[in-house]
Structure 1
Amino acid sequence: MWTHRILIGLSVVLLGMVSCVRPAQVSSAGTYAADSDLEIVEEVEETEALPGDGLYRAERTQYFDLVHTRIDIRFDWAKQHALAEATLQLKPHFYAQDELELDAKGFDIHSVQLIKGENKAPLAYTYDGRVISISLDRSYTRQETLAVVIAYTAKPNELVVQGSEAIQDAKGLYFINPLGEELNKPQQIWTQGETESNSCWFPTIDSPNQKSTQEMYITVEDKFKTLSNGELVYSLKNADGTRTDYWKMEKPHAPYLFMMAIGEFEVVNDTWGEVPLSYWVEPEYKKYAKAIFGNTAEMMTFFSEKLEYPFPWNKYAQVVVRDYVSGAMENTTASVFMDALQVDSSSLMDKHWDYIIAHELFHQWFGDLVTAESWSNLTLNEAFANYSEYLWNEHKYGKAEADYHAREELLQYLDESTTKQVDLIRFYYEDREDMFDSHSYSKGGLILHMLRNYVGEEAFWKSLNTYLTKNAYKKVEAHQLRLAFEETTGEDLNWFFNQWFFASGHPEIVVDHFYQNDSLYVTIEQVQDIDKTPVFILPTWLDVWVDGKKESHYLLLSETVHQFVFPVAAQPQALVFDSKLELVAEIEHQKTISEWLNQYHLSDNALVRNAALEVMMEDSLNAEVPLVFKKALKDDFWANREMAAYYFDSYQGEDASEISALLKTMTVEDTHSAVRAAALSSLVTLTNEGVEEIVKQALQDKSYLVSSSALYTYYTLGFPNASEEIEKKALSKDGNTLLVVGSYYVQSQVTNKGDWFIATLNRLQGGEKYYFLQMFGQYLVNQSGEEKQKGLEAIYQAGLTSNPYYIRMATFQLLTFFQEEAQVPAYIETLKAKETHPEVLDYMSTFE
């Protein structure tokens, strides 16, 4: 699963990550629990508080093994119910069993029967709303397979469930615009199974250590297309105007990876060898689907060749759905994506979606083929998927792009680490959803990058092949990954796995250096709290430049403090510790401004140069710094050019006119839209000469990033005919452009734009919709009568229907500012009554 986290600043609540402390060590005779929370066995002797209930989150005990699952399902759109029958084939795992427990959340159970040849016999059962406990007709041994069939109604919208920051809801089955009454929104049904939400729509043993083959008989109105795992065997039209599609999955996979998607999709077909590929989008985006997903086949070739393990499934579909509760999900053979991927060619100039597409594709090996046995081992799925983003960037776009992405991942992990430092493989957590964090994803991927660099390229890929080959269609824990690397390399790697997978925290490193008597003295100290965090063994590199020549020194750090002495012919011009950018660490290295300048001039590594620019960004005293940034305007890496362009915002140096000329050229000619936008932003602070013409030209840029920036500049600088330019962009498909238009209407106190605000509100999604809501509220403050009433009703309707949950929270907050309006108190009470998400309910309770 690929997750995206949006931090929304509300007046009372911050939607952020949950903060946890590192669990204490416990005795071997401690408490334990599976993900389903087993009872306490013995008292735990704790030296500090454990997260949540302090239970050890064991792999779920396998009393039965799923063998095969068949689901016959149809839908009541008005009630948002699924009417279904599930047939499960199972066999005892080892011990004989006479009782079967199945996860089934919020069902109406109509019957439970045992299949005996051609006949069915009713079975006695109890049901507590979450688990069906079935008394079998006799005791079954592991040599026997039994089959039970359960008729039921699933009612996901009537469940009270809690999601997480990464997976914002946990109902399993979602009806989008079920009555077809919402404007600009299609009717859809889709599922989201991870972590254990598929048992909200079919009975199963909802645990990642189970694997089952699958059949799905999906009955829908004939206008809808269906998608599920595996192969579409046939479609059968029924007498009542419906159609039944039969999907068959012949290879076993985990229950949380079962999926359905139903809607009026357009499907663009592609191939990878003999494997069919398909891209499922709304009709409006059919012509862009190949541009969005078109690198999929090349990715499959790249990953298959590197792993020496061909793509393991018989098809691969990618479907974009509305109101998705996460970023994307790697369901076997059919990944689901959020609707942010539905973009046109102008948007793709600013941001492609290869990283999320690669992430879900790599999961087809790491997570789907080989699956973590428990949520405690989640990083075995997510670290690999996250690292695939680096691997693909490196292959397709170059090492600089990959390293830039890795730095963003490091910053994301380090930001989370200020409030939460936990083991990567963690057996203590408050809720399994807490595992979907920057530790499991970002830190995990970065650790794999360190491992790759330590063992070497050939050994890394050979080890992954061994891991996949030995564990195909099975469950795994972290030690099986370690053993695969040890088998390949011949080296005991417990030291690496213990400090990175089974311990928390990261190195905090202080580097000092000085030159004396033809020698360079370098002191490296690990200053992290070693009572909670290990002293790390760190293989790394130090680059030193003397007289323009670089020498690279391999260092192996294993103590709190190391001092190295290197003979050098002269005062070093620059030094870079961790010069290959491998370490998951905070590094403090004090350098002179001259050393930072030389680091930029001498290094051939774009991110090492970027680090130097970042330090010098705030320096306004050294006369050489502007010269470096002038040079950086022509750097071969776009992020360095972008930073250099921003450096010259309001620049007052004697060469300002020369800089202006360079920025004018960049605004029009630079190949990267982010650089063109940055150049335009700084240009208008330096000169008035020719700026209006440049801005007009930028308004026609095919990039939304550039054209929206130009539009904002055009009206804030008071150029003539600004309102005409705004109206030209008022029907744009781009969210940022629409935010600029809305901002103009608010700041200029334009009236009679209520219908535009309502139509735009209904079109936007996610973070753009959140910010647009705030703007809409500002607009309505200055309106009255029917204009205000219609606007408030539109906000209320958004609160009734919107996902993700923070949009509903935002609409509720906004309506509280208009409580004096006659209809608003009733809106607020209705939103309270219909809300089920705990975080939104908590927020609402602050207004009672």
Structure 2
Amino acid sequence: MKKLFLNHFLLFFAGFAFAQEKPVTDFKHLQAEISIMPVKGEVSGDLTYTFDVLQPTDSVFVDAQKMEFQKVLLNGKEVPFKNDGKRLWITRQMERSEDNVLEITYSANPTQSMYFIENKPEGEEQEYQVWTQGQGKYTSNWLPSFDDVNEKVEFDLSFIYKKGKTLTANGVLQSSEAVNDSLTRWHFDMEQPMSSYLLAVAAGNYEVEERESDSGVPLKLFYPEGEEQYVEPTYRHTEMMMDFFEKEIGVKYPWQNYKQIPVQDFLYSGMENTGTTIFSDLFLVDSIGFHDRNYVMVNAHELAHQWFGDMVTAVSGEHHWLQEGFATYYALLAEREIFGEDYYYWKLFQSAEELKQMSDSGKGEALLNPKAGSLTFYQKGAWALHILKELVGREAFDAGVKNYLEKHAYQNVTTQDFLAEVEQASGMDLGNFRKNWLEQSAFQGSEALESLKRSEFIRNYLEIAALKQLPLESKKELLEKALDFPVNDYIGQEVVHQLALEEISEVLDLYKKSFATNNLYVRQAIALSLNEIPQELKSSYESLLTDDSYLTREAALFNLWMNFPEDRAVYLSKMQGQEGFSDKNLRTLWLALSIATPDFHTSQKEEYLKELRSYTAPYYRFQLRKNAFGYLFQLNAFSSENIRDLMEASGHHAYRFRDFAKNLLQQVYQTSDLLPEDRTLLEKELGINAEVEN
């Protein structure tokens, strides 16, 4: 009897606990008008939320970080509210009801999630880019919204911003009109609900190229004014990707249109905001830059997220792989269509090597661990899907994915939601798969290797890689054969990496054959690994200066300058005027080397130093600033203004650049010749930082 009573109690308690987890409210729609004032770093707006009360409650809330509220009305009446700096609480007894209306007038000065990037030199009219990043930074910093990804809302937003600028946001632009002589209002409409972290707005000096997919999806490709030369290389294969995903996934693109906007000083490579991907302008490339730093992978990844993450969103961090693993895997499938089968297996091989190393060192992570890192969520997630497709077969895998998306469209999902559909489509029990690939922290290296060996290319690569430990006389013939036309990109690079371990005099003939392959990446491997250039290879090495690769040219210029001092002026003259990537990798190196070469352009050295110093200013993209800071440090040529720029950079919103600046500040203080006032300024700055850290 006691046992029976206990069972009934546990059942009752479990039911009660489940009931407590049910949502109290359902926010369905937001109509908002938002004003953005970049000079003040301020945003303000009038919001109208429509929501249902699902069960009786004495309060409702909206997430709102460090905001001020001028008006709060519930169903047309003023109500008591509390602003605790993180949430706006409306305290009022409410019964089950539908279509309640919450009106809010607010203002905020966000320090994250919305960023105001000044990108014009001093003395010119102030120009700004404004852009947002919700994931990990919380949209509730600039818009009263919901940090909980399970609260999906249909957002119809209007924005007021400076006249003459381009502004875009989620949804379809319905109209735009002048507010007055200096401001414009843009109206955007959405048709489906989404999580708040996927909200986005971007504004600045942009032009737009409009395209369309085969199925009629409007594509809007943004680019900075006057930089048309970057459009084709940057957005290459975009239409093909949309067409491929609709066919491969079996579900139509789930939003009204698709827009892509490059922005300065973005926090990451890209972000899959609903229908509105924002990405780093570092990926704006010309046809040469495409070979080394193209946008294809990021483009495909963020587009795949429109289905996996935006349309179906994981309920919690435990299931985050349903977003990143899927986006990584489907992006890889698209890249296979573009770059070929060898590329696909090479990327899998590279990630398997990283995952196995992490696993073997005791740092492996389960895919269902909500605190796992990016390597796990992205690459192990992609591997799990690759293995699952091999396990159940393509037909069952594709059917499972399609059913999963259609059944849970515009909802939140769990791993079991996905596995259930694949089990039903395949008729297989996936318990072992879940245990080995989702719950195990160890990477299944043996199973991954067997899968990789299905590729003839991988088998051939592993045979060449296995030669690394052998003496040269035992493998020279095989290495030479591997360089026969047409040389494989990856196998050819492996050969060059092995040559770098040998006495140069013993492998001159193999280096000459490597140069003669005319393979861009084999030649790049030489540029990046052969630092001491023998006279016999000088002419061949000099030819790298004209390869269609800015990375190759950069490495070649530096190594030739180091190895042949007598020809420095020749190399610098040859490379004069070349910019390289958008971070001016070639230009900044050229300036540094020109300054450091005593008898080269002596009358222009001050001009070159002035230019190099100018690139540390806050209005330049941080990648360029980083290059300039690095070269100025090596030249011991920091000006007072450069030191102030570095201090400003130590508080930058992009954490990698911020950390770089903080570390360099310490090095500049310890090793550089400084004016007394600059040393005092640095001591004060570093002392303040030390107090904060303590």
Please indicate the TM-score interval, normalised by the length of the shorter structure: 0.7 to 0.9
Which of 88, 94, 104 is the aligned partner of 1:132? 88
CA distance in 2, matches of 1:768, 1:250: 40
Tell whether 2:597 aligns with 1:756.
no
- Residue type at the aligned position of 2:159: I
Structure with more relative contact order (C-alpha pairs < 8 Å, separation 6 or more)? 1
Q: Report the counterpart of residue 5 of structure 2 in structure 1.
A: none
- Give the secondary-structure state (helix, strand or coil) at the position aligned to 2:535: coil
Compute the displacement of 1:748 (Å).
4.6
Which of 318, 338, 342 is the aligned partner of 1:396? 338
TM-score (norm 1): 0.72
Identity of matched residues, %? 22
CA distance in 1, matches of 2:223, 2:55: 47
User: Does the CA contact (< 8 Å) of 2:550 and 2:580 recur in 1?
Assistant: no
Distance change >3 Å, CA 336–CA 483, structure 1 → 2? same
Q: Report the counterpart of residue 144 of structure 2 in structure 1.
A: 203
When structure 1 is superposed on structure 2, of 405-414 and 721-730 the one drifting more is 721-730
Q: Within 5 Å, give how 1:227-242 maps onto structure 2.
A: 227-242=168-183
Tell whether 2:408 aligns with 1:471.
yes
User: Does the CA contact (< 8 Å) of 2:542 and 2:556 recur in 1?
Assistant: yes
Structure 2: gaps (5+ residues): 1-9, 11-15
Instruction: Kindly tell me the number of residue pairs found equivalent between the two proteins.
Output: 662
When structure 1 is superposed on structure 2, of 340-349 and 694-703 the one drifting more is 694-703
Deviations 1:67-109 (A, max 9, x none): 00122111232321101122111112x3223411111111011
Tell whether 2:428 aligns with 1:491.
yes
Distance change >3 Å, CA 85–CA 106, structure 1 → 2? same
Which of 686, 693, 709 is the aligned partner of 2:555? 709
- Give the secondary-structure state (helix, strand or coil) at the position aligned to 2:39: coil
CA distance in 2, matches of 1:178, 1:396: 35
For the aligned residues, what is the CA RMSD?
Answer: 3.2
Compute the displacement of 1:173 (Å).
1.0
Compute the displacement of 1:127 (Å).
1.3
Tell whether 2:430 aligns with 1:581.
no
Which of 604, 629, 643 is the aligned partner of 1:773? 629
Deviations 1:644-664 (A, max 9, x none): 133333755997454344234
Q: Report the counterpart of residue 103 of structure 1 in structure 2.
A: 63
- Residue type at the aligned position of 2:557: L
Q: Within 5 Å, give how 1:633-782 maps onto structure 2.
A: 633-634=483-484, 636-649=487-500, 651=502, 656=507, 658-666=509-517, 669-670=518-519, 673-679=520-526, 688-689=535-536, 691-718=537-564, 720-723=566-569, 725-726=571-572, 728-729=575-576, 732-734=579-581, 735-738=584-587, 740-741=589-590, 744=593, 748=597, 752=606, 753-762=608-617, 765=621, 769-770=625-626, 772-780=628-636
Which of 646, 658, 669 is the aligned partner of 1:808? 658
Which of 253, 256, 260 is the aligned partner of 2:194? 253
Compute the displacement of 1:476 (Å).
0.6
Deviations 1:809-833 (A, max 9, x none): 3333333345463134435646887
Tell whether 2:99 aligns with 1:145.
yes
User: Does the CA contact (< 8 Å) of 1:104 and 1:130 recur in 2?
Assistant: yes
Tell whether 2:43 aligns with 1:82.
yes
CA distance in 2, matches of 1:660, 1:483: 55
Q: Report the counterpart of residue 191 of structure 1 in structure 2.
A: 132
- Give the secondary-structure state (helix, strand or coil) at the position aligned to 1:617: helix
Q: Within 5 Å, give how 1:438-453 maps onto structure 2.
A: 438-453=375-390
Which of 283, 301, 319 is the aligned partner of 1:341? 283
Which of 591, 602, 610 is the aligned partner of 2:461? 610
Q: Report the counterpart of residue 6 of structure 2 in structure 1.
A: none
- Residue type at the aligned position of 1:148: L
Distance change >3 Å, CA 183–CA 730, structure 1 → 2? farther
Greater fraction helix: 2
Q: Report the counterpart of residue 632 of structure 1 in structure 2.
A: 482
Tell whether 2:274 aligns with 1:320.
no
Compute the displacement of 1:459 (Å).
1.2
- Give the secondary-structure state (helix, strand or coil) at the position aligned to 1:109: strand
When structure 1 is superposed on structure 2, of 710-719 and 335-344 the one drifting more is 710-719
TM-score (norm 2): 0.87
When structure 1 is superposed on structure 2, of 495-504 and 216-225 the one drifting more is 495-504
Compute the displacement of 1:499 (Å).
3.0
Deviations 1:35-85 (A, max 9, x none): xxxxxx99xxxxxxxxxxxxxxx9985221120012211123232110112
- Give the secondary-structure state (helix, strand or coil) at the position aligned to 2:346: helix
Compute the displacement of 1:774 (Å).
3.1
- Residue type at the aligned position of 2:67: F
When structure 1 is superposed on structure 2, of 282-291 and 372-381 the one drifting more is 282-291
Q: Report the counterpart of residue 4 of structure 2 in structure 1.
A: none
Distance change >3 Å, CA 475–CA 817, structure 1 → 2? closer
- Residue type at the aligned position of 2:521: A
CA distance in 2, matches of 1:706, 1:293: 23
Distance change >3 Å, CA 831–CA 230, structure 1 → 2? farther
Q: Report the counterpart of residue 3 of structure 2 in structure 1.
A: none
- Residue type at the aligned position of 1:606: F
CA distance in 2, matches of 1:726, 1:799: 33
CA distance in 1, matches of 2:512, 2:597: 32
Structure 1: gaps (5+ residues): 1-28, 30-40, 43-57, 158-170, 430-434, 510-537, 541-577, 583-602, 834-840
CA distance in 2, matches of 1:226, 1:682: 45
User: Does the CA contact (< 8 Å) of 2:289 and 2:580 recur in 1?
Assistant: no
- Residue type at the aligned position of 1:265: Y
Deviations 1:212-249 (A, max 9, x none): 11111100111211111110000011224210000111
Deviations 1:757-815 (A, max 9, x none): 223445875566546523321212xx5xxx73343234334445x44223233333333
- Give the secondary-structure state (helix, strand or coil) at the position aligned to 1:239: coil
Distance change >3 Å, CA 608–CA 492, structure 1 → 2? same
Which of 123, 133, 154 is the aligned partner of 2:108? 154
Q: Report the counterpart of residue 437 of structure 2 in structure 1.
A: 500
Distance change >3 Å, CA 279–CA 503, structure 1 → 2? same
Distance change >3 Å, CA 832–CA 412, structure 1 → 2? farther
- Give the secondary-structure state (helix, strand or coil) at the position aligned to 2:98: coil
CA distance in 2, matches of 1:425, 1:367: 16
Deviations 1:339-364 (A, max 9, x none): 22112221112342211111000111
- Give the secondary-structure state (helix, strand or coil) at the position aligned to 2:417: helix
Compute the displacement of 1:756 (Å).
2.7
Compute the displacement of 1:411 (Å).
3.2
Distance change >3 Å, CA 311–CA 336, structure 1 → 2? same
CA distance in 2, matches of 1:197, 1:631: 55
Deviations 1:727-754 (A, max 9, x none): 6446513344246436635765796343
- Residue type at the aligned position of 2:610: D
Distance change >3 Å, CA 139–CA 656, structure 1 → 2? closer
- Give the secondary-structure state (helix, strand or coil) at the position aligned to 2:146: coil
User: Does the CA contact (< 8 Å) of 1:463 and 1:488 recur in 2?
Assistant: yes
